[in-house]
Amino acid sequence: TQLLEQSPQFLSIQEGENLTVYCNSSSVFSSLQWYRQEPGEGPVLLVTVVTGGEVKKLKRLTFQFGDARKDSSLHITAAQPGDTGLYLCAGATGGTSYGKLTFGQGTILTVHP
């Protein structure tokens, strides 16, 4: 059974601060996605990382996939209130695990003005 440990579970910061969310596993993933979810809505895909060591940037968000493809991080620079939400990492193992993503428990981020 693949597990994704996501930390921290809760993050409450002031506008302008930086933060990092971590996603760790003992399993190797063929790809890893990061999602952001608003209350009562479905998760929205932010990024997909595929190659070990890969770094992707999306404006103030930086995503990194570990060299061994077992862990990932999301770094937000100068957080804004609009960044508030639930952040989820999800890994795919490929092969015959068709359509199955293993999700972390999520990080609830609150950015105060």
Partner 1 sequence: KAGVTQTPRYLIKTRGQQVTLSCSPISGHRSVSWYQQTPGQGLQFLFEYFSETQRNKGNFPGRFSGRQFSNSRSEMNVSTLELGDSALYLCASSFDTGITEAFFGQGTRLTVV
Helix (H, G, I), strand (E, B) or coil at 83: helix
Q: Are 25 and 5 in contact (CB under 8 A)?
A: yes
Nearer to partner 1, 13 or 50 (CB): 50
Residues 29-48 within binding reach of partner 1 (CB under 8 A): 30-31, 33, 35, 40-45, 48
Residues 62-91 within binding reach of partner 1 (CB under 8 A): 88, 90
Among 57, 100, 110, 112, binds partner 1 (CB under 8 A): 100
Dist. CA 110–CA 17, nearest whole Å: 11
Tokens representing 12 are: 């409450």
Q: How far is CA 14 from CA 8, 57, 102, 107, in A?
A: 16, 22, 31, 16
Please list the alpha-helical segments (H only) found in the chain: none
Beta bridge partners of 23: 6, 72
Closest approach of partner 1 to the CB of residue 53, in Å:
17
Q: Is 2 in the site for partner 1 (CB under 8 A)?
A: no
Q: Is 113 in the site for partner 1 (CB under 8 A)?
A: no
Number of residues lying near partner 1 (CB under 8 A) = 27
Q: Is 8 in the site for partner 1 (CB under 8 A)?
A: no
Q: Contact positions toward partner 1, by CB under 8 A?
A: 30-31, 33, 35, 40-45, 48, 50, 88, 90, 92, 94, 96-106
